Amino acid sequence: MNQDDELCPCGSGKDYQGCCKKAFDQANSAREKLKAAMSNPEKAKELKELLKNLNKDD
């Protein structure tokens, strides 16, 4: 989104800043941290093991 005062794309009728911007920013931050971790072979292995174990619990 270009403007924080535009209507939120979720359809709530609220402006983006007061609705979904915080969640969107948090998701982007988490995505960037995962990308950085995956570029480190040791961290990538650790993350893959964590995900593998999570899938076993389901």
Q: Are 35 and 47 contacting, i.e. CB atoms less than 8 angstroms apart?
A: no
Whether 43 is covered by a domain: the verdict is yes
Per-residue pLDDT of the chain (58 residues; tens, 9 = 90+): 456 678 999 999 999 999 999 999 999 999 998 888 888 889 889 888 988 888 776 5
Whether 29 is covered by a domain: the verdict is yes
Whether 5 is covered by a domain: the verdict is no
Whether 8 is covered by a domain: the verdict is no
Whether 1 is covered by a domain: the verdict is no
Whether 2 is covered by a domain: the verdict is no
Q: Which domain holds residue 26?
A: 16-57
Answering whether pTM is above 0.75, one says no
Whether 6 is covered by a domain: the verdict is no
Task: Note the pLDDT of residue 19.
Answer: 94
Domain count, the chain: 1
Burial (CB count <10 Å: 0-12, 13-18, 19+), residue 17: middle
